[in-house]
Amino acid sequence: MTMFLRTSSFSRKSTGVLLGENCLPPESYQANDSTRKVSERVPTRAEAGLPERGFVFCCFNNNYKILPTMFDVWMRLLKDVSRSVLWVLQDNAAAGENLRKEAQTRGVDPDRLVFALRVGAPEYRARCRLADLFLDTLPYNGHGTTSDMLWAGLPVLTCAGSTFAGRVAGSCCTRWDCRSW
C-alpha cells in the first residue's frame, strides 16, 4: 500500500492530458468555498475530551468508512506512540461501542479512543486544530472532511486507492499544493 502525506501520486504530469498550450486539467474535481467559516474560538483539549498532553490522531470521516484493515493500522500506531489517542467522530452510540470493542480486541485500551459529537461547521473546523494528524480511510477517502482538515491547517495522511472514491483526498491535497512525503 502506498501512503501519501498531504498529497497524492496523481499529478498534472501523470494525466497525459494536454488541453492547450497554457491550459492544464483541474487538479481536483472538488469545488471548495473560499469563504467557509472557521470559528475564532478553539476549544481547549479538556473541553474536547482530549488529554492535555500526547499526540492526537484523528479521523472525522463517517464511521462506516472505517474498515478493519485501516483500523488495524491505526491501532498499531496507538501502540507505537505512547500517550497518543485516536479522536473519531461519534456517528452513533453503537458505532462508538463497536470501535471500543475492536480496539480492545487489538490490545489497545478503549479509553484511548475519544469520540467527538457533531457540532456546527465553523466550530467543527476550529476544534480540528486540536489534533496533530488526520488519518484518512481507505478504500473510501474523506471528501469534504479532507477539505475541512486542510482548511483548518491540519496535516492529512492518506492512501491513494484504485478507485475514484479512494483518490479524492490525494486530489484535494494536490489541489491545495501540499507536498508529497
Read off the pTM.
0.76
Query: What span, in angstroms and rounded, lies between the C-alpha atoms of 31 and 95?
Result: 30
Percent of the chain with pLDDT over 70: 67
The chain-wide mean pLDDT, for the chain, equals 78
Percent of the chain with pLDDT over 90: 45
Cis peptide before 110 (omega within 30 of 0): no
- Asked whether the predicted pLDDT for residue 180 surpasses 60, the reply is no
E strand or H helix that includes residue 98: helix 93-105
Helix extents (H) in 6-86: 12-15, 68-80
* pLDDT confidence tier of residue 91, bands split at 50, 70 and 90: confident
Supply the pLDDT for residue 43: 94
Across the beta sheet with 85-89, the strand order is: 3-5, 156-159, 133-135, 56-59, 85-89, 113-116
The most confident of 46-50, 119-123, 145-149, by mean pLDDT: 46-50
* pLDDT confidence tier of residue 57, bands split at 50, 70 and 90: very high
Supply the pLDDT for residue 177: 57
* pLDDT confidence tier of residue 167, bands split at 50, 70 and 90: low
Q: Which of 21-25, 122-126, 161-165, 170-174 has the lowest mean pLDDT?
A: 21-25
Cβ neighbours, 10 Å, residue 50: 20
By DSSP bridging, strand 113-116 and strand 156-159 are unpaired
